Every structure is written in structure tokens, then in C-alpha cells.
Amino acid sequence: MPLKVWMNGKLYDRAEAKISVYDHGLLYGDGVFEGIRVYDGKIFRGEQHIDRLFNSAKAIALQIPLGREELMEAFLETLQVNKLKDAYIRVVVTRGVGTLGLDANKCHEPQVIIITDSIALYPQDYYEKGLELVTVSTVRTPHNVLSPKIKSLNYLNNILAKIEAQQAGVIEAIMLNKDGFVAECTGDNIFAVAKGRLVTPPPDAGILEGITRQVVMELAEKDGITVLEQQLTRFDFYVAQECFLTGTAAEIIPVVRIDSRQIGEGVPGPTTLRLLEMFREETRSNP
């Protein structure tokens, strides 16, 4: 049975779930989205994802034509018809159909789309051996250009950074902010373990405030690990004992090489592995 996609209150077969070529989501990347995990039928940190979606929409002056609870019900309905228990939810809200001009006021019906699918992870090998990263020249969009806190449909900044990484023969990139401090990776937040403490760039560094990042900070604190949000440079990562990335799809993925420098022992470190274990417990027992 083909997967069903929820669109504006109705369910469509995947091949029939279509939007207009005049939708400003397509024409201008004008819209917002979220990626959410479902573990054993339970939506992980669903409220936080919905909050971030509504905040992203508010920031681009887009009115989501649905309440928070209705949206949560629509997620559950879509998961249920597709009989998915361990899944990924992609919710997209576009500005809707407009003219060929930029005028958002001419778009009267925002489109709400919910896709549920099985989850595509990084290959298992990367979790065991760790990732290699390179720093790229594409600068993370500054707050005064387009806030990285908005999870918008315009991901070209991140895509161009990823293309640069791929050209260098690796799959993920470190993006710096306009002041040269480390911001984040193209679709994940970044952490280092230095002097036994967990450090990560602060929201002011120009990052998407990841929900997995938040979960990992909470787990570390629960385990007695000091967590610091501070401005970090590439140097701080080169000399760190450990490094890892966090994201909804990736969960926690170890990093063992950055810009040709080995990080720590060159294998996933004990703090990373401990947090990964705690994260797995948390996601499997989440109410």
C-alpha cells in the first residue's frame, strides 16, 4: 500500500500529493518546516518541534491555518494510516499560491503538508568509526540577513556548504559565522569535549537551536557533566578530546577528523558513547 501524505486536512496517495507551481514555497523558498522523530509510536519532543514551527512561521509573518493540537492530531492520524511506529515526520507549511511577484499578501492559503516515512540514517559505519568534517568557506547566514533560528524552506546556505564538503571528499561541513567562530554543521549542531566538559556554540553564534542539542545538554547535566555554551573557534575543536554532532535524524554521531587533524584518539570517545547510550534510553522510554 503506498504511503499517504496529509495535505490541508485530507490524505492523498504519495503520487497524488501535489502542490501548485505557483506556490511561493516552490517559487521563493517561502515557508517553514520541521523534521520530527517517532520512536515506537511516540512522537519525540513533539511539543518543542511544534513550538519551533510556530516560531519560525511567526518570524516570517506566516499564519499557520491550524492550531497546535490539531497539528499534533494530524501527525498521529498520518502515522496511523501509514502504520508507522519508528518513523520520521516532515511537516511543511508553505506561503501558498501567489503571483509571480514576491508579494506575500497575494498568497491567501498557506499549504500544510505532513509526510511520514521510514527514517534514513547515516550508515551504521559512521556511528562506529566516526565522521570526518572539513571547514567550508560558505558562511552561516547571519542574524541580520536571515535568522538561522528560522527553519525555513530556503536551505541553500546549508546546501552550498554541504556541496563544498562533498567536493573535498567528506560528507559533512563545519560552517563558521561571519566573525569566524564555529556555528554548526549543515543539518546538525556541533559539540566538543574539552577538559572533561561539554562545550557547544551558543545560540548567538548563529545556529538553529536544535532540539537534539537541548536533549543532549540535559542528559549531560543529569550525568554530572558540565555543559558550557561558548564561542568556539576551529582551534578549540582541533585540540578537543572528542567531537560529535546532534540532530533529529542523526541523533548523536561521533566526529574523529576535522580538516585533516585527528580528534582525540581518532575513535568515538567515552563521553560521546555514554551520551549516545543515554540518548537511546531516553528515546526508547519517552512518554
Task: Name the residues annotated as catalytic.
Answer: 151
Contact segment (CB under 6 A) with ligand PMP among 108-116, 130-138, 207-215, 226-234 equals 207-215
User: Can you tell me which of 35, 65, 142, 202 binds ligand PMP, judged by CB under 6 A?
Assistant: 35
162 binds ligand PMP (CB under 6 A): no
Contacts of 254 (CB under 8 A, 6+ apart): 126, 127, 130, 131, 242, 243, 244, 267, 268, 269, 272, 273, 276
Kindly determine how many residues on this chain lie close enough to bind ligand PMP according to the rule CB under 6 A: 14
Contact segment (CB under 6 A) with ligand PMP among 197-205, 221-229, 242-250, 274-282 equals 242-250
Cell reading at 99: 503571483
User: Can you tell me which of 4, 24, 95, 213 binds ligand PMP, judged by CB under 6 A?
Assistant: 213
- Restricted to residues 245-274, the positions that interact with ligand PMP (CB under 6 A) are 246-248
Q: Taking each helix axis from N to C terminus, what angle separates 68-81 and 46-59, rounded to the nearest 10 degrees?
A: 120
CB 200 within 8 A of CB 188: no
97 binds ligand PMP (CB under 6 A): no
Q: Please identify which residue in the block is written with the cell numbers 531516553.
A: 282
177 binds ligand PMP (CB under 6 A): no
d(CA 42, CA 183): 31
User: Can you tell me which of 71, 133, 192, 211 binds ligand PMP, judged by CB under 6 A?
Assistant: 211
Residues recorded for the chain: 287
Output 107 or 205, the one with its CB closest to ligand PMP: 205
Q: What are phi and psi of 154, to 5 degrees?
A: -100, 95
Output 54 or 96, the one with its CB closest to ligand PMP: 54
194 binds ligand PMP (CB under 6 A): no
Output 97 or 150, the one with its CB closest to ligand PMP: 150
46 binds ligand PMP (CB under 6 A): no
Output 64 or 245, the one with its CB closest to ligand PMP: 245
User: Can you tell me which of 46, 96, 130, 187 binds ligand PMP, judged by CB under 6 A?
Assistant: 187
Nearest to 233 by CA among 186, 174, 161: 174
Q: Taking each helix axis from N to C terminus, what angle separates 211-222 and 46-59, rounded to the nearest 10 degrees?
A: 140
Contacts of 206 (CB under 8 A, 6+ apart): 140, 141, 142, 143, 148, 177, 178, 183
CA distance readout (Å), 145 to 54, 149, 213, 270, 273: 20, 12, 24, 39, 37
- Restricted to residues 129-158, the positions that interact with ligand PMP (CB under 6 A) are 158
Q: What are phi and psi of 233, to 5 degrees?
A: -110, 175
Output 94 or 246, the one with its CB closest to ligand PMP: 246
- Least Cβ distance, residue 37 to ligand PMP (angstroms): 8
- Least Cβ distance, residue 224 to ligand PMP (angstroms): 23
| Sites of contact with ligand PMP (CB under 6 A) | 35, 158, 184, 187-189, 208, 210-213, 246-248
